[in-house]
Amino acid sequence: MVGPDDMFSRLFNADLPSRLGWAVSRRWYDLRVSWHAWDKEPWVFALVLGLIATSFFFGLRAAYEHQDHRRSLACLARNVYFEARGEPAAGQYAVAEVTMNRKTSGRYPGTVCGVVYQKNWDPLRKRYVGAFSWTEFDSLPAPTGEDWLRAWEVAEAVYYEREAPVLEGAMFFHATYIKPDWARGKRPLARIGGHVFYK
């Protein structure tokens, strides 16, 4: 025998899908009416303004990154040019690699230009001394000619990692005609042209 409560429960559950469907349909209808009745101009304006601002932001960011890459390449190419102009190609690549290895080591400035123009305190000379000798000069002739084009090509190849490293992990180098104190205890990697490279 089915009691009143059971009968009500069955009727309620049996009718539930149709009532839910009606509620959803009604809600969807109300939303459509509200959408057509809305004044959409402020929302459209805000959306367009947001798209313009987003496009401007990404465009500005891309331009800044491009400019930063060009500046880094210029510093790297100048280092190759003034430190290794006239050296074999392997020697020029090695100089560029030393520069980039320092940048990524965490022990030197985190930018290419910061590495190239870094100065350290020299207690003997009692002044700050450039990490690369050519940066000590107040003025230098502008890089030109085939040597400059070659230095730029080397800089691009190393900067964008287009070539396998000539010397893995090279961090230091000096001219073969000097024997600096700092080279003691350093692990020599190779002699290329007029430079000795160390890890």
34, 117 Cβ separation under 8 angstroms: no
- Per-residue pLDDT of the chain in tens (199 residues, 90 and over written 9): 545 555 545 545 556 566 666 666 777 777 777 777 777 677 666 677 776 666 555 555 544 555 899 999 999 999 999 999 999 999 999 999 999 999 999 999 999 999 999 999 988 889 999 999 999 998 899 999 999 999 999 999 999 999 899 999 999 999 999 999 999 999 999 999 999 999 9
Note the pLDDT of residue 63: 47
Other beta carbons within 10 angstroms of residue 24's beta carbon come to 10
Q: Is 181 helix (H, G, I), strand (E, B) or coil?
A: helix
* Centroid of chain to Cα 51: 25
Give 126-169 as a DSSP string. Answer: TEEEESSGGGGSS--PPP-HHHHHHHHHHHHHHHTT-S--SSTT
- Token digits of residue 101: 């290895």
Quote the CA–CA distance of 80 and 87 in Å, as a whole number.
Answer: 10
Domains of the chain, by residue range, sit at 48-198
The CATH number of the domain covering residues in 48-198: 1.10.10.2520
Other beta carbons within 10 angstroms of residue 68's beta carbon come to 13
